[in-house]
Each structure stands twice: as C-alpha cells, then as structure tokens.
Structure 1
Amino acid sequence: MSSVDKKRQSPDQYFIGPGIAFFFGFTWTAFLEGEKKMKKQYLLFATCLVLLGDVNDSLAVESEMQTHSLNDQADSSSEPVPLLGIETINGKTYLTITATRSESSVKEIPAKVEVIDRQMVEQTVGNTITEQLKKNASINVIEYPGNLAGIGIRGFRPEFSGITKHSLILVNGRPAGTSNLATLLADNIERIEVLKGPASSLYGGEAMGGVVNIITRKNTGKLTGMVETGLGSFSTNKQGAAVGGALGERFDFDLTANRYDQDGDFKMGNGQTRAYTRYETQNGSARIGGKLGDGWRFDLAGDMYQGRDMETPGDIFNGYTYSGYADRDRYGADATIGGKLGANNRLTLTSYQAKETAENYSNSDWGTTVPTYHSYDTDTSWVGVQVKDEYSWHDHRFIVGVDYQDIGVENLSFKRNGTRKAPYSPDEGRENWAGYLESIWKFMDRRLTATAGGRYDTFDVKTKETPYMTGFTPKSADFSTFSPRTGLNYLFDQGVRLHTTVGKAFVPPTAGQLAGYSERLVVLDDGTSFTSIIRGNPDLDPESSITYDAGVGYEQKKWGLDLDFTLFHTDVDDKISTTTSGNTSSYGNSLSAEMEGLESSLSFDVGAPLKWNRSLKFIVNSTHMFKAEEELASHTMQDIQNVADYTVNYGIQYDDGLFDGLLHLRNQGGMRDTDWNASGYPVIEYPSFTVVDLMVGVTLQGHHRIILKVDNLFDKDYYEKQGFPKPGQSFFATYRYEF
C-alpha cells in the first residue's frame, strides 16, 4: 500500500459514513417530531463535526478547499486550484453564496436561486433595489411616494416597515439594517441573489418566503473608476463617482458617492401632475481590505444613505390633506476577517452595526390641514456577530456557525407645538442567539447533490420603558425554535437538472404581541366610557411554515438556452391573530395560510447557436400563483391581499460591445386589497396592467459611455397600490467616463 493510500485511511473515514446516516436520519426525525431533546442532540452533533474537522486537518491529503473566493485566486501568484460548481452569467463567472452560506453553483444546489447580474442591474430602469427585484425576479412589491417600499416572496404579502417580516434582506451576507427597502439603492452592486423559499435553517426568522442578498462590488485588481452625470424628466439630475482597486501588493479599496435629486413633481399616466412627490437622496460606500498572510484576509466596509425632503402626497382620494415629507437616514458598517485553519478548513468572522432613522413631518392633524409640523420619529439599530466555519472532506462540505443579533427600536411622537407626547407604539428590543449546521454532499461523480441542515434559535424580546407612555408596563418574554431543511439536485448529461427541497421556517412574534401591555380610555357617543386593555401573550409561538418545492431545469450553452420551472407549496400554521374577551384584547396562534404556485425562467441567446460575436437574448421570468389564501378570525379563507395572481417579466437584451440595450415588459395580474375609502371597507380587485421600459447604451473608445433610459415607455396610467398612482412616461440620460 502506498504512503498516499495509507494517509487516506484517516479517522475521517471511520466517522463520516455513520455521520451521514445519522445526520440525514436525525434531520428528518427532528422535522417530523420536533422534540426539544433532538434539538440539543443536533447542536451537539454540529459541534462534534466541526471539532472533528479541525482535529483531522493535519491528516487530510485533499487539495486546498475548493470554495475559496475568485478574488483570492486572482490575487494568488501560484497556480489556481480548479473551482467546482462555477456559475457563468453573461460570460462572467460567479459563485452564489446565499443558498448554503458557502460558495456554490446555482446549477448544483437544490434550492431555487435567481441571480440578477451586474449588467442586468445597470440596464434595468429604476434606481432602487425594489425596482430591480420586481422587474427581474417577479416578486410582489409595495411602493409609496416618499421612498417607502417592501417586498413579498412566494405569496407572502409585501411588508415595508417594522423589524418582523417574512422576507429577509442581506448585504454581503449580513442583515442589511433597514426596515424600508427603498433606502437600498442600485449603485455599487455586483449582483443580487434571490433565494426563493424557506431559509430559516440558515438565517433564522424573517426568511419564511425567501432571502435577498445584495453583493456589492469588490475591486482587488487594477485601479479603476468612473464619474458620471445625468439629467431627466421631472427636473431630475444625478451625479456619481467611484474608484477602487489594489494599493500595492497587499491592500485594496473601493469608494463610491452618488447624489440624486428629483426637483419637480412627477406626472401620472393621465397627464396630471401629482404634487408632493419631489425628493433628494445621496448615498456612498467605502471599503478597505488586505491580505494578512497564510491565506487570511480582512475587509472593513461601510455604507450610508440620506433622503432629504422626501415628499409624501398621501392617498389621492384625500387630495393632499395627508401630505407631508420625511428625512430618512441609514448607515451600516461591518468588519470581516477570514482565512484557512488548515488544508480543508476555513473560518470567517463578521461583526456589523446598522442604524436607520426617520423624521416625519405632517401637513395635517387628524384630517385637519395645519401648518407643517414635526409629527413623529423612529430610530432602529442593529448590532450583530457572525462566526462561520467551513470544512471540506473529499467533495463534501460542512458549514457550521453561530449568529448573534440585537435590535432596538425607539419611537417618538410630537404635538403641533413641538412638545413630546406618547408614541403609538412602545420602544422594544429583540435579542437572538442561534447555531446552525449545513451539509453539502456530492455523490455519483458530483451529479447528485444532497443538502441537509438546521438551525436552533433562541429569542429574548421585550418592551421598554417609553417616555410619556402611561397605562403601559414593560415586560419581556423568550422562546426558541428549530428549523430544518433538506434537498436533492441531480444533473443529467443532456443538461437536464432536477431539484427539490423541503424546509421549515418561522417568523418571530413582535415584542408587543409577546410582552406588551397598554390601557386606553375609550369614550362612547353616549358619554359613557370604559378602559380598553391590550395584553401580550408570553406563551405565543412563532408563526411557522413548511414549504415543498420541486423543479426541472435545462441548460445548453451551445444553444444559448437556459430554463427552469419550479412548483412550490407552503402551509403556514400558528398565524398570530387578535383575540378579545370583554374589554381585553390579546394574541393567540389560531390561524393558517396556504400558498402554491409556479416559478419559471427562460433565457435564449440567439447569438450562441449562430456563433455571433454579439448577444441577442430573449428573457422571461414569471411567478404564477395558483393559491394564496389566509384564514380569518371567523375561520373562513380569503385571498392574501396585495399578492398578484401572476407577474411576468419578459424582454429582449442586446450587447455587441459597442451598443447594448434592454426592451423590458412587465405584466402584472389582478390582486385583492381593502378599499379603506369606501363604506364598509370592501375587498376589491385591482386591474391587471403591462408597463414597458427601454434602455439603450453605447460605449465609445472604451472610456465614454452614454445611457438613455425610458420608464413607462407608452405612458401607462396605472397603480400597484390603490390611491398611489405610478409615474407616467419619463426619460433619463447619463454620461459616464470610465478609467
């Protein structure tokens, strides 16, 4: 027996075989039984597995871990290690990280992941992440003038405020630190990864519908940069600059700065001007990173957003009675250090902090027009730490980690004379500890990929002492939950891909639902009064869901063809509802919901089979909801509101190196919503609509770039939320100098 063969008989082989059987068997048992003792066994197994990996690093003879980043390889002077599972989009090479918290190919993982690449981000009309998602990933969104927006994935209603949602937003893998998606702009983005389906097994709460991970640009090579300026409809102007690259052999950096000013009110598709729709934003980012030697690297990064005089017209039904404006700020900062602990082991540590504030000014006081006054503020902060260890054994990988997060919310309200008064909601906090394990198994010459993992979360939520709030007693409550997920993916020689996952997810109760307590004096029309009490329920369980999905994909690069169809079904249990007994209201887990649908994507590049030196691509991305229903307190079912029956994005994309462009069409089906302006508050159905956008760009002499974008090309008069019509036709032209 050769020395190599002897080395291959490392202790790993005596543990991994039984470990595979134990891990899959345990995950499914925990899935079905959910017993607390199994959760403890799971965490113990995760700890033992990563310790086993560290002990056996000295015995491993495999090549260096094949999940190093592309940047690490580009910086290496030695022959690069071959990468497995690389995803190619528009001729560029990417690895997706959202589905497993480890670099993997979207074609080899079971989970449904869609990637919006850098070129598509630039060609899409719209300067916010919300615009990117609704036009490229076919998810539901809600947008209000004044830059207030949120999303919903796979049939969940879009949410635009609060710290408890059903879709999670990340920036470079850490929480974005915003409750309002409109504060994340489409500048400095390398790609956007959209994971559709439950991800609580990796990310905990708020990942029931899916996860959006925004990957920012990271220039570690030659120094590059750009400056740009632009003008457009509604007296809009923009300026921007970016620079980044290597600083010697060890360090690298990125800097960006942008300003956007819409100094005029927009016109609707009917030709009328919608007053109180002007706003101004500025944003920027900074990063510095470097090599620490022996395969280790650090990165320090920060980003900021400021929205000033962001006017809000209110519901068009009320004219401009409820108009006002807001000043919004957001910043985030993170520090990451990562490197090799051994040939097959990589450790990453990340700490982050974020803060979001909003100052709101109103022109009305309970429907009466008054001089503009400072009405209320919100202040939300996030602090967290992520520790992740990746270990590889042959083609298999294990990702184990610990997450910590602390969120605080402060609310302030003001009278018209500027003095403080009690806010509508108490201050609150939420602390979360979690441990997770994800495993990726490769069999049958890497054709079959199996994933299995789970996460154990503990939460401590509390309402805090709130100035000026009487009849209120601060309280706290805690709970824990376990979320498993597993999946299979098989690749055939002919380019066919079969994939399926099943996973459990959860959304934590709010602090008010768990630990709130308030009293309010209610005076009736006849002059009598009573005390209304709202009391939290410390025994409240998180909302939970189980999602199954299955899909088939097909890819033939020589034909330029790539398609995928995925069916999904979600059952939601323990939905939180309000219960009332006499004058006291509380909360309970008594309701349910059910969603199912079909997600499809198609890309066909005519230039590939014809062997052109240019690309002419037909693209389609859609979501069709077969069912999206939720249970009411009366135990009857109704359609989930603000969820479209279908959303179809399709278009033609062109690029020959000199000219490029995108003709994009978005067709949205009907949806249900409550008409709060009609007697009895009936449920109504919105009409379907189709909106067309156009982008044309030209690059001259490798440095000069001119871009023309047309939003709502045919001046469609439409709305996505009743009472808040969208802008009509608008033009925007940009000149950019790149170096």
Structure 2
Amino acid sequence: MKRFFQIIVMIVAASGFVRGEQLSDTISIQEVTVSSFRKQIARDRLPQKVEVITREQIERAGTSDISDILKKEGGLDVIQYPGMLSGVGIRGFRPATSGLNQRVLVLIDGRPSASTNLAMIDLTGVERVEIIKGPASAIYGPQAVGGVVNIITRKSSGKLQGKGTVGYGSFQQTEASAQVGGTISGPVDFDFSLNRYQRNKNYKIGKNNLFRDALGFDEISSYFSKGDSTMVETDDRGDGDVRPNTKYTRYGSRGRIGVQLSSDWRLDFSVDGVFADDVEDPGDIKDGSNKPGLKDVSRLSSDISLTGKLAPTNTLTLRVFYGFQLAKNMTTYEGVPSALIHPYKSYNETTAWKGVQVTDMVTMGSNTFFFGLENNQSNFDSRRFKKDGSRVAPYKPNYSFITTGVFAQGNINLVADKLFILGGVRFDNIQYKVFETELMTYKERSENNQFFSPSLGLRYQVLPGLNLKGTVGYGFSPADIYSVAGYNEVFSKKPKHVTIYAGNAELKNMESLTRELGVTYGDKAGLWSAELSYFWTTYKNNSIEKFIPATSLELTASGDTIDARVNYQNAPSNTIQGLESSGSFDFGKLAGWNSSLQLWASYSHLFTANEVADEYGIGQTTRKMLNVAMDNLRTGISFDDSKNLYASLSFRYVGDRFDRNWNYWDRYVETTYANYMVADFVTGYRFLKHHELSLSVNNLTDENYYEKRGYNMPGRSFWIRYSFKF
C-alpha cells in the first residue's frame, strides 16, 4: 500500500506541469453511443460496463498496434511479443495468442475478426473500439467469457473526406497511411484506407528506469511450493541493450462499398487485411540472439450485409462473412547449443472462418427486441517440414468448430425512461470435428454439446446524472477440441506399447457466471464524472487430464499393448473478484474557458483471480491466474483548445502479475513479475485548416519493462507525424 501511494504522489507531481489531450472517452460518459448491443444506444443508458476508444484517441496514441491501444486506452491485460504476436484479457481472464477457445471475443463490426492473433488487425479506417467488460455470450455466443472487443469501422457518406499521414520515429520507424470516404455518385458510397509501417532498425530496451529505481520495481520472486521457499532475483536483464531481430514491415488495408438500393434497403461489402513477410522475432532474452524467429503472416476478412425494413417497425439484417489467417514459420537455428543456420520453412498453418448472421429487429415504441440465428464454422489446418522440404507429422491434427446459435434480446425502457432493462437469451450447439491427419495417429471423430446463455442488466436513474446499475450473465468458451473429440495412440519407448489419449464426449464447456453492481455519475455540463463497479465471477470446467494406468493386458486393434489411457474431465469452480473505478474533472469548464483542461484516472483491482488448470508435468493444480495484473492504474492530464493546440501526459501502472517458471519444468514454481510504470506524452498543432503536426514520446522515462517476461518492450521512442485532411 505504501508503494501504491508513492505512485500516486509521483503522478500528481508530474501532472501538475503538463496540459494534455482531450479526455479519454473511456472516462467521459457524455454523448457516447455504443453499437455492440445490435443498436446504437447511449453509453450512459447501458447497465454493462462498456468503454469506447475513439478515432481521435487512436490517431493520437503514437502507435499503430491495437494491443498498445487496448492496454493504454482500455486498461486491458495483454500478452505482447516483439514479432507481431499478441493477445488480450479482460476482467481477470488470461490473454491468449492462439486457439479457437479464447476467453475474449474479438469482432469487427459485430462479426468474427478472422484472427486469433490480435497483432494481425490493422487500425487504419477504424472509427472506434468498443470494449464490453463482462460476459456477453447471450449476445455473441462462444468465447465472450471475460468480455468483447468490437472494432467498429468507418462508414462514410456525403461529401468526400480523407486524410493522409506520414511519420518518422526512433529505430528508423516509418509510417504512411491514407484514408478516404464518402459518396461516389447517387446511392453509392465507400471507404478505403491503406497503411504501411516499417521498423528498419533493431530497437533498444529501456535503460534509465526512473520509475523502476524510485519505486523499487527491480525484483522478481519465485515461490517453490515444495519446500515453501521463495527466491528473489534482481530483474534488470537487458537494461539498455539493443535487441537483435526486431525489424519488420507490415501492410494493412481496409475497404468498403455500399449501395442504397431503395429508401428502405441497403447493401454493403467490406474487406480488410494485413500482410507482413520476414517478420523477425528475437526470442527469449535469456537465449541472447541464439534462437531468433522468422515468419510470414497474413490475414484477410470480408463480409456482405443486406439491411432493410420488412415493415415500418421491423428491420431485417442478413450478413455472410469469410476470412482466413495464414502463418509460415522458418527455422533459423539448430543443435545444442544452438547454432544459426540458413532459414528454411518448417511450419505453416491456416485458420479459416465462414458463417452467416440473420437478425430481425422489432421496435415497439421506445422498446426494441431482437431475434436471430447465427452459424459460424472455423477450420484449422497445419503442416510441418524438414530441412529438405519433406513433411513430418504436425504438432496437432486438423480440426473444425461449427457453432449454431439462436438468440433473443430485449432493450426495454420503463418508469418514464428512468429504468433501462437489457436482457437476452441464447442457445448454442457446438460441433467438434477432429480430422484424420496425414502422418498422425489421430482418428477422425465428431462430437456435439450445447450451452444456454441468459443475461440480464438493469440501470436506474436515481437523480439526473446519478445512476445505479446491476447485471448478471453467463459466458462460455468451447472445450478444447482434442479433449472432447480427440483420439491418439502415442508410442512409448518400449516397442509395440502405446498410451491412448481419448477425448471425453461428456466434457462440458468452460463457463462463467458474473454478477456486477455499480454506480455512475456525470453532470450534463461535462464538468466531472465518476464510476464505481464491483464484479464477482465464478467459473468452472477447465479441461484436466486424467491418467489411468493399465491394470490388465489390453491390446489395440492393431495388436499394440496399452500401457495407460489418458482422458479428460472438468475442473471444479473458482472465482475472480474485482473493483473498477474511474473519474474525471474538467478545470477548463470550471473556469469558463473555451478550452478543455482535464484530469482523469481509471483504476482496477483484483481481490482474487485463481484457476484450476492442468499443468504440464504436474497435472491438476490450483494456481493464480497467469499474465493478469492484480492492479492497473491509468491516469493523466489533458488539454485541448479546440482550435490549434492539444497535448497530454499519461501514466500507466501495472501491479503484480504471475507466471510459471519453466526453468523448473518438473514442478510448479510461481514467478511474480516486477511491477512497472510507464509514461507517454503527445502534443500536436493544427494549422491552416487542413494541416496537423504532432510529436509523441512513448515510454518517456525509458523504462525496461515487459508484458511477457523475456520479451522486453522498446525503451523511449519518439514519433513525428504530419497529417493533411480534406
């Protein structure tokens, strides 16, 4: 607690000297609408905790990486690696960078983003990012356990408008982007954006560490449960080092064309993609530069939507979508100790998505009801290769998920619009298919299971600006496909002896139940606002291996001796409890200025975040949730004169995070990461109506920090950008 107050004192002292950017819309609650609940709803009417990151915040953030945006502007947990790989977590659920059973659902305009890797989503052409905190499976189905990140793209009409931006930064970073949109002719409108980013020089890890040294954030601890001992180490690896193999070039593009077919019907087609070849990965810092990575990655997603009125109070939306994500990995080293070799293609994987969404909206006065059907299919395919190009068995067999959901949702206003009710139910059928895969012993199998997801949220206006709110809702993520439908005969060292891994068709989906209570206040003048929420989540059914040794002679169909069987069972329940708060005050409005001078803060704390999981080499273990911060504080001061000058100074503090120490693979050793704090500064000047020049400094105090230990982030970096709007 003493350390926490030290942080507050340092932030307040530093903030007193700076004016900053217009207040983050993740703090202010006035005049912000949200579309993630199938209809535009004012955010100050919603019972759910929703944060909105605006286009202005994205453009001024000094980064083109959506992971940076989500952690800086949304306060979310991330796992982030230097080589274009990242994942996000919400409300205590661990971030993930791969797989089709993640705990946070990432969408683009309400449909699947066609990516398991957050770094593969480009921000150019994005209008805003909406973050639903808490389960949303009643709306969106699988994976919406911790919450939803819904990326809303630009939809322009009317006079053509656009913007071009060029930038240059530290480590020989360059960026060029262009976007344009509006009406082409008559009923046809469009949007198009293009972005190119390059880091042409290896980045340097932070060295000066003002906050780390002042606040004592220079140690990690490893707890050995066997023997009940703790080992403490100084955590200064890489201070000031240039990190080899951190260069890459990325291209992103997004396009949309729409046709107003009649006064009641509209057709839209959109597509977006990201492409990057020869993406370097430095590997874990403990290996120096001896185990680098190299890969080519690409992603493409598209959809066609038709929206129209069946009757004055009845609107139908039909959407079909398709997308894929490709990764080709090269091997760059071999041997023990490792030696660098000429890279060769050793692995490639493809994940593809396709589906259809049908939604019928019925309006009754100020109330709206939705009924719909959604079908999604995801397919995974991978291959491995030797140096000579011949194939070897992949790491896992090919598989597919097919989910079909039916849902109903109601947005109801009562008591002279003082009471808003948002409720919904959804039923999903999940089909698991594991395919017989070349060079593997997996057998083709198919299984099904179901899940019912209800939710209810209430928000009541006690006084003008003062609201009480409460929600209860279920979330679920599909069980691991191999745990449900897998079958594999793994040969042991003894000839003709095998261990059989067999899925459990009765395995249940991972599910959560979250209860939330909160209070919000925001005055109409926008002078100040505050919000406080408490949430309590119980969840269960992680997949746990169960090892059963053979007690009598048993043979496979091919005559091999079965030494043991491994099947899967559901883990018992556990809890996540936390508190979220935010507030802002505009001194500019208080003084009667035309300018805005705002102080803002957002803080979240987890009282507990544990899970029962299956640990390699150990089995069933109760542990603290990995890669999740127990404390997350964001604060800053911001200024905007609404004409020319804007500036902001912001701070981000991340508290205790936990991970497994793999130096001790045969036992569970829990490592507590060092806390860290970073500061970012941005200022800009708008002139001659169409022009803007900006300077941003990321990691102002040059801290050595990481989101995943061993993969340290860049130190202090500068960006200068010039933009032209028309």
Kindly tell me: are residues 227 and 632 of structure 1, through their superposed partners in 2, closer, same or farther at Cα, counting changes over 3 Å? closer
1:654 corresponds to: 639
Matched, 1:236 2:173: yes
Aligned equivalents of 2:29, 2:474: Cα separation in 1? 36
Q: CA shift at 1:89, angstroms?
A: 9.2
2:437 corresponds to: 466
Aligned equivalents of 2:115, 2:626: Cα separation in 1? 23
Q: CA shift at 1:296, angstroms?
A: 1.6
2:692 to 705, 714, 717: 705
Amino acid at match of 1:598: L
Aligned equivalents of 1:171, 1:212: Cα separation in 2? 8
Answer whether contact 1:712 1:729 (CA < 8 A) is retained.
Answer: yes
2:416 corresponds to: 445
Matched, 1:359 2:334: no
Aligned equivalents of 2:101, 2:465: Cα separation in 1? 40
2:681 to 694, 701, 708: 694
2:15 corresponds to: none
Matched, 1:207 2:148: no
Answer whether contact 1:322 1:362 (CA < 8 A) is retained.
Answer: no
Q: CA shift at 1:91, angstroms?
A: 11
Q: How does 1:147-162 map to 2 (within 5 A)?
A: 147-162=84-99
Aligned equivalents of 1:310, 1:408: Cα separation in 2? 25
Q: How does 1:391-402 map to 2 (within 5 A)?
A: 391-402=362-373
Answer whether contact 1:577 1:591 (CA < 8 A) is retained.
Answer: no
Greater RCO, 1 or 2 (C-alpha within 8 Å, sep 6+): 2
Q: How does 1:257-336 map to 2 (within 5 A)?
A: 257-269=194-206, 270-336=239-305
1:95 to 30, 33, 40: 33
For residues 545-588 of structure 1, the C-alpha deviation after alignment (integer angstroms, 9 at most, x for no partner) is: 11000100000132521221111010002222111112221211
Answer whether contact 2:28 2:529 (CA < 8 A) is retained.
Answer: no
Q: CA shift at 1:366, angstroms?
A: 6.4
For residues 591-645 of structure 1, the C-alpha deviation after alignment (integer angstroms, 9 at most, x for no partner) is: 3221010112222222223221111122222221111011256776321111111
2:660 corresponds to: 674
Amino acid at match of 1:654: F
Aligned equivalents of 2:158, 2:662: Cα separation in 1? 55
Matched, 1:538 2:505: yes
1:493 corresponds to: 463
Q: Name whichever of 202-211 and 243-252 sits farther off.
A: 243-252
1:249 corresponds to: 186
2:387 to 397, 402, 416: 416
Aligned equivalents of 2:28, 2:633: Cα separation in 1? 21
Q: Secondary structure at the match of 2:67?
A: helix
Answer whether contact 1:553 1:563 (CA < 8 A) is retained.
Answer: yes
Q: How does 1:66-215 map to 2 (within 5 A)?
A: 94-98=32-36, 100-215=37-152
Kindly tell me: are residues 428 and 636 of structure 1, through their superposed partners in 2, closer, same or farther at Cα, counting changes over 3 Å? closer
Aligned equivalents of 1:212, 1:448: Cα separation in 2? 26
Q: CA shift at 1:339, angstroms?
A: 1.7
Aligned equivalents of 1:327, 1:605: Cα separation in 2? 47
Answer whether contact 1:136 1:621 (CA < 8 A) is retained.
Answer: no
Answer whether contact 1:227 1:737 (CA < 8 A) is retained.
Answer: yes
Answer whether contact 1:591 1:635 (CA < 8 A) is retained.
Answer: no
Amino acid at match of 1:354: G
1:717 corresponds to: 704
1:25 corresponds to: none
Amino acid at match of 1:629: N
Matched, 1:736 2:718: no
Answer whether contact 1:559 1:609 (CA < 8 A) is retained.
Answer: no
Answer whether contact 1:294 1:340 (CA < 8 A) is retained.
Answer: no
Kindly tell me: are residues 88 and 623 of structure 1, through their superposed partners in 2, closer, same or farther at Cα, counting changes over 3 Å? closer
Matched, 1:345 2:283: no
Aligned equivalents of 2:260, 2:115: Cα separation in 1? 31
Aligned equivalents of 1:278, 1:540: Cα separation in 2? 44
Answer whether contact 2:355 2:375 (CA < 8 A) is retained.
Answer: yes
Q: CA shift at 1:359, angstroms?
A: 0.5
For residues 342-361 of structure 1, the C-alpha deviation after alignment (integer angstroms, 9 at most, x for no partner) is: 22111111111111000011
Answer whether contact 2:28 2:584 (CA < 8 A) is retained.
Answer: no
Kindly tell me: are residues 421 and 632 of structure 1, through their superposed partners in 2, closer, same or farther at Cα, counting changes over 3 Å? closer
Q: Give ranges in structure 1 of 5+ residues lacking alignment.
A: 1-86
Matched, 1:381 2:352: yes
1:565 corresponds to: 532
Aligned equivalents of 1:674, 1:319: Cα separation in 2? 21
| TM-score after normalising by structure 2 | 0.87
Amino acid at match of 1:208: V
Q: Secondary structure at the match of 2:507?
A: coil
Q: Secondary structure at the match of 2:589?
A: coil
2:445 corresponds to: 475
Aligned equivalents of 1:90, 1:112: Cα separation in 2? 13
Q: Secondary structure at the match of 2:87?
A: strand
Aligned equivalents of 1:92, 1:696: Cα separation in 2? 24
Matched, 1:405 2:376: yes
Q: CA shift at 1:466, angstroms?
A: 1.5
Amino acid at match of 1:322: K
Q: How does 1:35-74 map to 2 (within 5 A)?
A: none
Answer whether contact 1:437 1:455 (CA < 8 A) is retained.
Answer: yes
Aligned equivalents of 1:97, 1:409: Cα separation in 2? 30
1:581 corresponds to: 548
Kindly tell me: are residues 328 and 473 of structure 1, through their superposed partners in 2, closer, same or farther at Cα, counting changes over 3 Å? same
For residues 287-329 of structure 1, the C-alpha deviation after alignment (integer angstroms, 9 at most, x for no partner) is: 1112111322121111110012111111111222321211110
Matched, 1:630 2:611: yes
Q: Secondary structure at the match of 2:471?
A: strand
For residues 645-675 of structure 1, the C-alpha deviation after alignment (integer angstroms, 9 at most, x for no partner) is: 1111111222112011221111000111111
Amino acid at match of 1:95: T
Aligned equivalents of 2:439, 2:596: Cα separation in 1? 63
Aligned equivalents of 2:322, 2:622: Cα separation in 1? 41
Aligned equivalents of 2:607, 2:495: Cα separation in 1? 49
Aligned equivalents of 2:187, 2:299: Cα separation in 1? 31
Percent of aligned pairs with the same residue?
A: 35
Aligned equivalents of 1:350, 1:603: Cα separation in 2? 39
Answer whether contact 2:124 2:179 (CA < 8 A) is retained.
Answer: no
2:477 corresponds to: 507
Q: How does 1:426-441 map to 2 (within 5 A)?
A: 426-441=397-412
How many residues are treated as equivalent by the alignment? Answer: 648
For residues 419-453 of structure 1, the C-alpha deviation after alignment (integer angstroms, 9 at most, x for no partner) is: 11110010001111110001111111100011221
1:522 to 481, 484, 492: 492
Q: CA shift at 1:495, angstroms?
A: 1.0
Q: Name whichever of 542-551 and 589-598 sits farther off.
A: 589-598
Q: Secondary structure at the match of 2:525?
A: helix
Aligned equivalents of 2:438, 2:621: Cα separation in 1? 41
Q: Secondary structure at the match of 1:607?
A: helix
Q: Give ranges in structure 2 of 5+ residues lacking alignment.
A: 1-24, 207-238, 550-563
Aligned equivalents of 1:109, 1:91: Cα separation in 2? 11
Kindly tell me: are residues 91 and 688 of structure 1, through their superposed partners in 2, closer, same or farther at Cα, counting changes over 3 Å? closer
Matched, 1:605 2:605: no
Answer whether contact 2:29 2:522 (CA < 8 A) is retained.
Answer: no
Aligned equivalents of 1:319, 1:509: Cα separation in 2? 37
Q: CA shift at 1:726, angstroms?
A: 0.9
For residues 35-86 of structure 1, the C-alpha deviation after alignment (integer angstroms, 9 at most, x for no partner) is: xxxxxxxxxxxxxxxxxxxxxxxxxxxxxxxxxxxxxxxxxxxxxxxxxxxx
Answer whether contact 2:162 2:180 (CA < 8 A) is retained.
Answer: yes
Aligned equivalents of 1:89, 1:146: Cα separation in 2? 31
Amino acid at match of 2:484: L
Q: Secondary structure at the match of 1:557?
A: coil
Kindly tell me: are residues 267 and 362 of structure 1, through their superposed partners in 2, closer, same or farther at Cα, counting changes over 3 Å? same
